[in-house]
Structure 1
């Protein structure tokens, strides 16, 4: 069987808010995504990240939570127990949205840093829908992208160390959709940046 050649990708900025360090014992409570752009052999083309977005708040899946992690998002677990989307429904809707906005392109999850958000997102997708529209490795870490372009070790990288013109002017609010839009702008700036002069 010959693998199909993928000639272009749809870059989706994704941010999650959770009440602990790992999925399963702890819960993903917020999921936000924004179309950042697409890439092909000619390079990256940015999109307006406010035009195509996705946001859900989810019902917790366990009683365990880390109060410090929960405080970061400001989400109310008791409210979400009553009003949050069922994870299976929310993740199925997310998968449908990813396929719709990707429209024949290979979707790529982009995050800053991707490792935390990807861990929750992939676990939830497999656990509640049985599949990931991104495959098992379709993620791009913006922190690594910057480190590579800047010629820096990964551990030396933080947003506060980046040149200001690369950063979005939007605040990082720890609201999953707001942060997904902010990170989409960071991705567009990083993709256009040639590196240090």
Structure 2
């Protein structure tokens, strides 16, 4: 058991709306928190055309484009599961890390179970916002990425590109983790 290591995987998604099943996950990206150059990302064919106009305004995709060029959900989740397994190796346990992890994890979990049969991350996720709040004693309001960036001074910023945002979130998590180590 001592040989098992936790592998922190930053994950970000872009969706057509707030609820998995009712709305589609349109893209997702991931990177290793401690090796952010190791990335994975795909666009996904939509399940339907349900959309929150505000969500669609920021993501830069159209349903028409994704229906033509997106990866089928079953294939997308199989490829993501293979990537997670490969980057974790035999003795690595993947830990899902997200900025507002409950939202991102809910879609990833739904898609993994619906299209792949299981979720390699299991049934938990590490939320950077909650971690930051605990490490800094901040208010919940101050866990917005813009407020976190002011305090942590990351080199990157969010862009609504799922892979880039996963890398950005990984940086925020590393910087927050360093705050916790300084105590």
TM over 0.5, yes or no?
Answer: yes
In 2: Cα distance, 1:156 partner to 1:172 partner: 16
Q: Which residues of 2 match residues 50-89 of structure 1 at below 5 A?
A: 50=37, 52-89=38-75
Tell me, in whole angstroms, the C-alpha distance in 1 between the residues paired with 2:3 and 2:18. Answer: 34
1:195 to partner: Cα distance: 7.7
Contact kept? 2:142, 2:148, Cα under 8 Å: no
Query: 1:157 aligned to 2:148?
Result: no
Q: Among residues 132, 135, 159, which one is paired with 2:122 in the alignment? A: 135
Count of residue pairs brought into register by the alignment: 182
- Equivalent residue, structure 1, for 2:11: 14
Question: Could you say what secondary structure the match of 1:101 adopts?
Answer: helix
Give the distance between the partners of 1:126 and 1:154, measured in 2 at CA: 31
1:131–1:186: structure 2 CA closer, same or farther, 3 Å change rule?
A: same
Contact 2:9/2:30, CA 8 A, preserved across alignment: yes
Does 1:171 pair with 2:157? yes
More helix by share: 2
For structure 2, the residue ranges without an aligned partner over 5 or more in a row are: none
Does 1:30 find its partner at 2:27?
yes
1:181 Cα deviation after fit: 0.7
What TM-score do you get using the length of structure 2 for normalisation? 0.92
Closer, same or farther: CA 167–183 of 1 in aligned 2, 3 Å: farther
Asked if the contact 2:17–2:51 (Cα under 8 Å) also holds between the matched residues in 1, the reply is: yes
The CA distance in 2 between the partners of 1:66 and 1:127, in whole Å, is 22
Residues 150 and 195 of structure 1 are in contact (CA less than 8 Å); yes or no, is this contact kept in structure 2? Answer: no
Match of 1:42?
A: none
C-alpha separation between the residues in 2 aligned to 1:156 and 1:192?
18
TM-align CA RMSD? 1.9
CA distance in structure 1 between the aligned counterparts of 2:3 and 2:69, rounded to whole angstroms: 40
Cα distance per residue 1:1-41 (max 9 Å; x no partner): xxx6784200000000000111111100011000112xxxx
Query: Are 2:165 and 1:193 equivalent residues in the alignment?
Result: no
What's the TM-score once normalised by structure 1's chain length?
0.86
Aligned equivalent of 1:110 = 97
Flag structure 1 segments of 5+ consecutive residues without an equivalent.
38-46
